Amino acid sequence: MTNLVIVGSVALDTVKTPFGKVKDALGGAATYSSYAASFFAKPAIVGVVGSDFPKQHLQLLQQRGIDTGGVKVDKNGRTFRWEGYYEYDMNEAKTVKTELGVFANFKPQLPPSYKDAEYAFLANIDPVLQLEVLQQVRKPKLVLLDTMNYWINNRKRQLLEVVKKVDVLLLNDSEARQLFETPNLVKAAGAALKLGPRFVIIKKGEHGALLFSDGNHFSAPSYPLENIRDPTGCGDSFAGALIGYLASRNSGSEKDIRKAIIYGSVVASFNAEDFSLERMKRLTAAEIEKRYREFERMREF
Ligand code: AMP
C-alpha cells in the first residue's frame, strides 16, 4: 500500500538556458516531484507515456523506490513533450511548444493499492485529470495542488473546481496574480483561502516562498545559489520534497508545513544545479540535511 500518490506529467523536455541545452530529456511534473519526494517517502505515480518513452527512465524512478504501477504505456501515441527556454532571468520559463500527446486521451485508473493513500499531490497536468484522480482516493488527509499558466489559460473553470477540494494550493507569483486577477499577492492568497484551501503557498522563484493561512503568514528565503544551470523542475521538486516530508511526518500542521517548505527549497536548489534530473540523481540525504541547517542559520537575526 502506498501513502503518497502523485499525478502529473511524465515528459520528454527540450530545454535551452544560457548555460546549455538538452533535447528530449527526462522531465515532467510527476517525474521531478516523485523523485524529490523519494528522499523522504515512498511515492507512487499516476500518468501515461507513449511507446517512445525510454524504458530506462521508468527504471530510474523504480530504483529510487517510486511505485510506477500507475504509469500506463499507451502504444498509440507519443509521450507528452514540453519545449522551453530561459534567458538570463531564470525565474521565468518561456514555453515554445507543449504537445499533450498521450495525455490528451488519458483516463486515469488508480491501482487498488493507491486508493487508501493519505497524502496526494495533484501536480501540474490538466485539472480534469487531477480531479479524476482525487475522486479515486478514498480518504486523503492532505491534498496539495499545483498548476501553471497553460492550464489557467485553457481550463480556468475546472481548475477553480479543483482548488475548492484541496488543503494546500501552490502557485508561483505570476500564476497567483493571473488566477485571482489581482496584482497584489496578499489579495490573491486571500481569494484562494476563501475557496477552501487551509494554506496557500506562493513561490517567488529565486526569492523564496510565502505561506498564507487564516491570519498567519510565513516567509521562507531561497538558497543563494551561485551555480544555476537549469531551473526546470524546481517548482515540482519543491512540491515533491514538501509533500514527501509531510507524509514522512504524517502531519499537516502549520509548523511542519513551514519545515516542509524549507526542505522543498533545499531540494529545488539542488535541482537547479544541473539539467533534467542529473543533480538529483547524485543527491544524498546528508547533502539535504547540511543545506537545511544552512537555511536555519540564514534565518537567524
Ligand atoms: P517546473 O517545476 O514548474 O519548472 O515544471 C517543469 C516541468 O513541467 C517540465 O519538466 C515540463 O515537462 C512540465 N510541464 C510543462 N508544461 C506543462 C503543462 N502544461 N502541463 C503539465 N506539465 C507541464
The yes-or-no verdict on residue 225 having pLDDT over 90 is no
Say which residue the cell 499533450 belongs to.
Answer: 100
Could you tell me the pLDDT band of residue 2, with boundaries at 50, 70 and 90? confident
**Residue 14 confidence (pLDDT) above 90:** yes
Q: What is the pLDDT of residue 226?
A: 85
Instruction: Using the predicted structure, report yes or no on whether residue 301 has a pLDDT greater than 80.
Output: no
From the CA of 48, how far away is ligand 1's center (Å)? 15
Query: Is residue 205 very low, low, confident or very high in pLDDT (cuts 50, 70, 90)?
Result: confident
Per-residue pLDDT at 56: 97
Model confidence band, residue 62 (pLDDT cutoffs 50, 70, 90): very high
Spatial separation of the C-alpha atoms in residues 224 and 139, rounded to whole Å? 39
Looking at residue 237, the DSSP 8-state letter turns out to be H
Residue 239: is its pLDDT beyond 90? yes
Q: Is 124 in the pocket of ligand 1 (CB under 6 A)?
A: yes
Distance 97 CA to ligand 1 centre (A): 11
> Which residue, 50, 170, 29, 189, is CA-closest to 106?
50
Range of the domain at 294: 4-298
pLDDT digits 0-9 by tens, 76-134: 999 999 999 999 888 889 999 999 999 999 999 999 999 999 999 999 999 999 999 99
What domain count does the chain have?
Answer: 1
Strands, DSSP E only, in 123-235?
142-145, 168-172, 199-203, 209-213, 216-220
Q: How far is the CA of 297 from the centre of ligand 1 (A)?
A: 32
- Tell which atom from ligand 1 comes closest to the C-alpha of 81: 12
150 CB near ligand 1 (under 6 Å): yes
Ligand 1 centroid to Cα of residue 11, in Å, is: 8
State the CATH number of the domain containing residue 89: 3.40.1190.20
Q: What is the pLDDT of residue 92?
A: 85
Ligand 1 atom with the shortest distance to the CA of 82: 12
With the most atoms of ligand 1 within 8 angstroms of its CB, the residue from 48, 92, 124 to mutate is: 124
pLDDT at 1: 76
Backbone phi, psi, residue 46, to 5°: -120, 130
Tell me the residue type at 295.
F
* Amino acid 40: pLDDT: 98
Pocket test for ligand 1, best of 12, 33, 82, 243 (most atoms within 8 A of CB): 82
Strand 80-85 vs strand 20-27: parallel, antiparallel, or unpaired?
A: unpaired
pTM for the structure as a whole: 0.97
Q: What is the mean pLDDT of residues 176-189?
A: 97
